[in-house]
Structure 1
Amino acid sequence: MNIKKSGSAIAGLVAATTLFAALTMSASAQSTVNIKFAHNGNTNPDDPQNVGVNAFKDMVEERSNGAISVQIYPAGQLGDARTIVEGIQLGMIEMADVENGPMGGFVPEAMLWDLPFIFRDIEHAHTVLDGDIGRSVQEKYTDVGIRHLAYNDGGFRYFTNDQRPIHTMEDLQGLSIRVMESEVMVDTINAFGASAVPMSFGELYTALQQGVVDGQENPMNLIYSQRFYEVQDYLSLSGHFYYPRQYIAAEKWWQTLDEEHQEIISQASVEASNIQRESLVEYEVEMRSVLESNGMKINEVEKDAFIEAAAEHIYPSYYEMLGSGDASRGEELIRAIMATE
């Protein structure tokens, strides 16, 4: 009897130990933070956006000792920019790197960054975005269920078309130009004399190929990665819009994270964005040479008339909205940006 009892006790101990191990493994698996990270850029690993996103993945997984896993979904696998942002709001997607185009539909103040010629150069843009004004816009995102973590660069945007080089505003007359789904961008291109056509990025190449639109405007790396040089002859260095992207996260999901994981993700977002910014500077120089070698005719643009049109016809239309109902405050905000050294 003693032997049997002893054997039964050992068997029970083994069963209990096995169950405990299984529960421990299950709890460990459940404690792993899994991040679906979406963007709608290309899949080229050398593209600055992917350089940044891959750096983010490596930093987060290493610093969390594997407790956080990042799965990247590039090339619009989880939808276009607007769909991705909506997925973030609903908590269906944990994180994303999204361009500013659709963001004004969620946070009106984000339209600041879409204003034409609001930034003199890339250093000016970084100073504003990383300063008090940029942070004040970031804080607005939590009201719509989004955690804004960092700004990175898409670069300045340039016109391409298949009709003629754009030297002056008069050269845009009669051209149809695809733009992002941004009210400011639509108003701007129309004010410059062209016909703005809002269109999904995924539809753009075919639209250019079939002549649905005459041209488009994008940063140089996207003109290359999307092979627009195959269907566009002219690249005009207008730099009319600055093109920020941002690392964003689902606010409800963010609140489920412990402080240590929040800090790891937050810091990695800033560092990855800085890596992306540095990569873009070198990449644009290379892309200009590559686009020329692929047959694109590249020209400078006389910007003074464009800048005057922007200040006269575009900025005042958005003073009230950017000032949360106070036009004078909106005007002061724009003036503060332009005065920033």
Structure 2
Amino acid sequence: MTFRFKTLLGAAAVIMASSMGAQAQTALKWAHVYETSEPFHTESVWAAEEIAKRTNNRYKIDVFPASQLGKEADINQGLKLGTVDMIISGSSFASRDYKPIGVTYFPYIFRDPAHLIAYTKSDVFKRLAKGYEDKTGNVITAVSYYGTRHTTSNKPIATCADLKGVKMRVPDVPAYLAMPRACGANTTPIAFAEVYLALQNGTVDAQENPLTTIEAKKFFEVQKNIVLSGHIVDHLNTVVSKSRWASLSDEDKKIFTEVMLEAAERTTKIIEERENKLVDDFKKRGLNVVEVDKADFEKNVLEKVTFEEFGYQKSDWEAIRAIK
């Protein structure tokens, strides 16, 4: 065998090995509905890169933001269909498959973000997450703080009774409707993209969202009262599909979980920092920021709304409330 032939054969072997290595890299899709400027996206991109590093580039994860792979209901369905591998989504959607986990959206169940994070490390979280996993096969690997939901309105709102008869835009999700309906508001499920115009033209008189969303979507331009009702301490789950999770080795499952938990912690920190600044920012803009008696709102919810009508269990609510 000539030296030249040996050299060519060696080069061919290197090319083949390289090709096989490239083929061994697994491509994954991570989807969510949030904008590229939001931490739910930036920290997902960080996590995708970090997973690649920690697995020696055996995984290439592409993150698809802003509903590129469908609305939230679509990407949840995508976990079943195999069109996505991982998503960021709320427990309100997880509860469509396993109702008890939706209790985490019940008004005033969480005192503050710290209480929410404590819940994610508790036995009750493990039990609810396992219930969802047993029902779907999908795995919740991490939970991020999304923001505390407050109210904006045309008129000042100080008590639950002040919402009576107010036309209020609320997402068409059972637990989101609980507080407004308990207070007598007329709820309207307007599409999120149309909320600004609906507030501007008077189709509705109020809406509810976290302060970060109120600022990002400029609702403060068409509503001068920001009511700190704090009725839901909201969160998002990072979920890996049944088929993808089953394909991972125990070592890779550990890496994916660790990185996703780190990303959730980074996200939570960013959201809390932004929220802390926004109350003063809104006041400086001349908006009427109203502190309310949350106990009054909570009392009305507990008197007028039952856990059973949503498929929730009061024992889960009590267990979460008891977490310190």
TM value normalised by structure 1: 0.85
TM-superposed deviation, 1:104: 1.9
Q: Is the 1:247–1:269 contact (alpha carbons within 8 Å) kept by the matching residues of 2? A: yes
1:224 aligns with 2:215: yes
* Cα deviation 1:4-48 (Å, max 9, x = unaligned): xx57x9769946962x4454333322221323222212222xx44
- Counterpart CA distance in 2 for 1:282 and 1:114 is 22
Counterpart of 1:245 in structure 2 is: 236
The answer for the alignment partner of 2:138 in structure 1 is: 146
Query: Are the structure 2 counterparts of residues 158 and 132 from structure 1 closer, same or farther at C-alpha, using a change threshold of 3 Å?
Result: same
Shift of the 232–34 alpha-carbon distance from structure 1 to 2, 3 Å rule, reads farther
- The residue that corresponds to 2:68 in the other structure is 77
1:247 positional shift: 0.5
- Letter paired with 1:181: D
Change (3 A) 1:204 1:55: same
Q: 1:141 to 1:31 in 2, by over 3 A?
A: farther
Answer whether contact 1:158 1:217 (CA < 8 A) is retained.
yes
2:21 is the counterpart of 1:38: no
* AA at the equivalent of 1:33: T
Task: Give me the CA root mean square deviation.
Answer: 2.4
Counterpart in 2 of 1:92? 83
Structure 1, unaligned runs of 5 or more: 1-5, 323-329
Q: Distance in 1 between matches of 2:307 and 2:297?
A: 15
Q: Report if aligned partners of 2:151, 2:226 keep a CA contact under 8 Å in 1.
A: yes
Aligned to 1:188: 179
Distance 2:11 2:46 in 1: 40
Give the letter aligned to residue 143 of structure 2. Y
**Contact 1:102/1:180, CA 8 A, preserved across alignment:** no
Secondary structure (helix, strand or coil) at the match of 2:305 reads helix
What are the equivalent positions in structure 2 for 1:10-25 lying under 5 Å apart?
14=8, 18=12, 20-25=13-18
C-alpha spacing 1:49/1:171, structure 2 compared with 1 (3 Å)? same
Partner Cα separation in structure 1 for residue 284 and residue 21 of structure 2: 53
5 Å-filtered alignment, 1:1-341, equals 14=8, 18=12, 20-44=13-37, 47-142=38-133, 143-161=135-153, 163-318=154-309, 321-322=311-312, 330-341=313-324
Aligned residue pairs total 323
Can you list the C-alpha shifts for 1:89-127, whole angstroms capped at 9, x where unaligned? Answer: 222111122133333212211211110111122222222
CA contact (8 A) 1:101 1:181 kept: no
CA distance in 2, matches of 1:278, 1:208: 31
Tell me how far apart the structure 1 counterparts of residues 182 and 300 of structure 2 sit (CA, whole Å).
7
C-alpha separation in 1, matches of 2:42 and 2:81: 27
* C-alpha contact 2:180 2:187 (8 A) present in aligned 1: yes
Instruction: Confirm or deny: 8 A CA contact 2:170 2:187 kept in the other structure.
Output: yes
- The residue identity in structure 2 corresponding to 1:98 is S
For 1:198 and 1:30, the matched residues in 2 are separated by 47
Q: For 2:61 and 2:282, locate their aligned partners in 1 and report how far apart those are by CA, in whole Å.
A: 33
Q: Distance in 1 between matches of 2:51 and 2:59?
A: 7
State the TM-score, normalized to the length of structure 2. Answer: 0.90
Change (3 A) 1:317 1:34: same
> Could you tell me whether the CA contact under 8 Å between 1:165 and 1:234 is conserved in 2?
yes
Where does structure 2 lack aligned partners over 5 or more consecutive residues? none
> What amino acid is aligned across from residue 149 of structure 1 in structure 2?
T
**Distance across 1 between alignment mates of 2:35 and 2:57:** 27
The one-letter code sitting in structure 1 at the alignment partner of 2:150 is Y
- CA distance change for structure 1 residues 243 and 286 in 2, over 3 Å: closer, same or farther? same
SS at match of 1:119: coil
Cα drift, residue 265 of structure 1:
0.9
Secondary structure at 1:75's aligned position in 2?
coil
Whole-angstrom distance in 1 between the partners of 2:10 and 2:45: 42
Alpha-carbon distance between aligned partners in 2 of 1:157 and 1:295, rounded to the nearest angstrom: 21
Contact 2:143 2:237 in 1 (8 A): yes
State the structure with more CA Rg: 1
Of residues 104-113 and 240-249 in structure 1, the stretch that sits farther from structure 2 once superposed is 104-113
Measure the CA separation in 2 of the matches of 1:159 and 1:98.
22
* Partner secondary structure for residue 166 of structure 1: coil
Determine helix, strand or coil for the equivalent of 1:120: coil
- Alignment partners' CA distance in 1, 2:276 and 2:60: 34
Q: Distance in 2 between matches of 1:282 and 1:273?
A: 14
Q: Deviations over 1:42-82 (max 9, x none)?
A: 222xx443453243233212212322222222222222222
Q: 8 Å contact 1:165–1:299 — kept in the other structure?
A: yes
- SS of residue matched to 1:105: coil
